[in-house]
Amino acid sequence: MAIEDAAADLAAEFGGPGPEDLANGAAALAAGLLAQAQSFATTAAALETSDTGHNGAIEAAAARASLALSMAQAVSEAQGPARAGLIAAAAKTLDVSLTGAVIQLRAAALSLPTDDAAARIAAAQIAQEIAASLGAA
């Protein structure tokens, strides 16, 4: 038996994330994005109160916070390619590059607030599918 056949047999036996894993992965990814949004919003507020002329940094942090909220909504409410479309529209509106959006999405997938391994795998898969749809795989 060839190595490829053994790998295919193993994948067929165990399969990928199931529907519940994908739902949990989407929820965990959305929670990670919400945590990012809070962090960026806190940063923007701190810069604003420091009164040291960081207008560009304040705007960038606020845009990233808004994008994280938009991505959390897209991940939790849309499916498949629609997620990428919503994220692309939000990134364009907020003047954030698609590459920046994908990096932000992948960072959220790496910092999930769960120890559920199947949900982590599903979240990484969702992030990769979105990145591929955005042309930033």
Tell me the C-alpha distance between 112 and 21, whole Å: 14
In sequence order, the 6+-apart residues with CB closer than 8 A to the CB of 82 are 74
Place of tokens 């949990």: 24
First to last CA, the chain: 32
Domain residue ranges of the chain, discontinuous segments joined by +:
20-36+65-133
Tell me the C-alpha distance between 134 and 137, whole Å: 8
Could you tell me if 104 and 60 are in contact, meaning their C-beta atoms sit under 8 angstroms apart? Answer: no
Over residues 15-50, the pLDDT tens digits come to: 778 889 999 999 999 999 999 999 999 999 999 998
Over residues 88-114, the pLDDT tens digits come to: 999 999 999 999 999 999 999 999 878
Place of tokens 């954030």: 96
